[in-house]
């Protein structure tokens, strides 16, 4: 049903650190790698090796030049890498606009999913998402989206430490964190509180579960760490002194 649950048991989601993300695209790659054979498989690619390549991806990393933000410090601007994927909103209108009931938000953990067998491919959900999180699979004729790796996080065939979304598991700078954002005592909730985590486009009223940590404020100058001054070698004593005296004759 496309009616939203009044509350969800958990609010599973991601916390993404824009201060430490280096834009390496590893999360994008591992997302594609896992999900092209996962719950929403396949993530179809068309003309993958030619001109006009097109395909379904759940995660896209943009790069921006940011100016006028405290994260820039004394510099005029800074570079910021920005991963963009489904935010598993509390008020996901991508779900409520769905005419068939294919889109739904799980009451147990808040994950927003698509039932591909019910999807008629009308694309209205992708219009209703302010964040561009949903991508249509023209080959399969159905809408696809991030599953928060629902087939990893509960997967008892995986080692417990691997039961996190593929993007989180693979991030080399630990810029991505996964957990229950509905629990104020969870690690991710504490991280959001300590770093001042924010919603994307809060004015849209979708109440995203995923939070972003803005770039931290920079110090204006690097701290001073001078090297010791260079002094001439001691030529008064020792072997070096004898050699010096010998050659000075």
Taken in order 234, 238, 241, 247, is the CA torsion positive or negative?
A: negative
Among 24, 41, 124, 158, binds other proteins (CB under 8 A): 124
Among 7, 37, 64, 172, binds other proteins (CB under 8 A): 64
Q: Which stretch binds other proteins (CB under 8 A): 30-38, 133-141, 159-167, 168-176?
A: 133-141
* Exposed / middle / buried, residue 95 (Cβ in 10 Å: 0-12, 13-18, 19+): buried
- CB-based contact 99:32 (threshold 8 Å): no
In the complex, minimum distance from the CB of residue 2 to other proteins, in angstroms, rounded to a whole number: 5
Q: Which stretch binds other proteins (CB under 8 A): 100-108, 185-193, 227-235, 238-246?
A: 100-108
Rg (CA), the chain: 26
Each residue 12-51 as x (binds other proteins by CB under 8 A) or -, in order, gives ------x----x-x--x----------------------x
Nearer to other proteins, 103 or 147 (CB): 103
Question: Residues with Cβ < 8 Å from 219, sequence gap 6 or more?
Answer: 73
Residue 146 found at the interface with other proteins (CB under 8 A)? no
Interacting residues with other proteins between 183 and 202 (CB under 8 A): 198-202
User: How many residues line the site for other proteins (CB under 8 A)?
Assistant: 72
Task: Give the pair of three-digit tokens for residue 8.
Answer: 């969800």
* Exposed / middle / buried, residue 108 (Cβ in 10 Å: 0-12, 13-18, 19+): exposed
Q: Which residue has the tokens 């110090």?
A: 219
- CB-based contact 82:72 (threshold 8 Å): no
Among 37, 63, 155, 174, binds other proteins (CB under 8 A): 63
Question: Residues with Cβ < 8 Å from 232, sequence gap 6 or more?
Answer: none
Among 9, 33, 75, 118, binds other proteins (CB under 8 A): 118
Nearer to other proteins, 66 or 158 (CB): 66
Residue 67 found at the interface with other proteins (CB under 8 A)? yes
Interacting residues with other proteins between 200 and 219 (CB under 8 A): 200-205, 212, 214
């Amino acid at each position: 049903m496309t009616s939203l649950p009044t509350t969800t048991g958990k609010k599973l989601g991601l916390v993404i650190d824009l201060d430490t993300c280096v834009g390496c695209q590893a999360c994008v790659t591992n997302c594609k790698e896992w999900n092209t054979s996962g719950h929403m498989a396949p993530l179809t690619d068309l003309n993958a090796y030619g001109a006009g390549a097109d395909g379904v991806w759940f995660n896209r990393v943009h790069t921006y030049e940011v100016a006028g933000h405290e994260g820039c410090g004394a510099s005029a601007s800074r570079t910021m890498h920005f991963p963009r994927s489904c935010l598993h909103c509390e008020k996901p209108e991508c779900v409520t606009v769905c005419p068939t009931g294919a889109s739904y938000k799980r009451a147990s953990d808040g994950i927003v999913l698509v039932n591909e067998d019910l999807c008629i491919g009308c694309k209205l959900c992708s219009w209703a998402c302010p964040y561009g999180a949903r991508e249509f699979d023209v080959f399969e004729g159905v809408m696809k989206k991030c599953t928060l790796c629902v087939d990893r996080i509960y997967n008892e065939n995986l080692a417990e430490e691997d039961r996190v979304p593929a993007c989180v598991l693979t991030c080399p700078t630990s810029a991505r964190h996964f957990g229950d954002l509905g629990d104020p005592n969870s690690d991710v909730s504490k991280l959001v509180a300590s770093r001042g985590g924010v919603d994307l486009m809060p004015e849209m009223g979708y109440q995203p579960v995923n939070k972003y940590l803005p770039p931290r404020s920079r110090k204006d100058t690097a701290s001073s760490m001078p090297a010791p001054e260079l002094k001439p070698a001691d030529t008064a004593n020792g072997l070096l002194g004898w050699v010096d005296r010998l050659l000075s004759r």
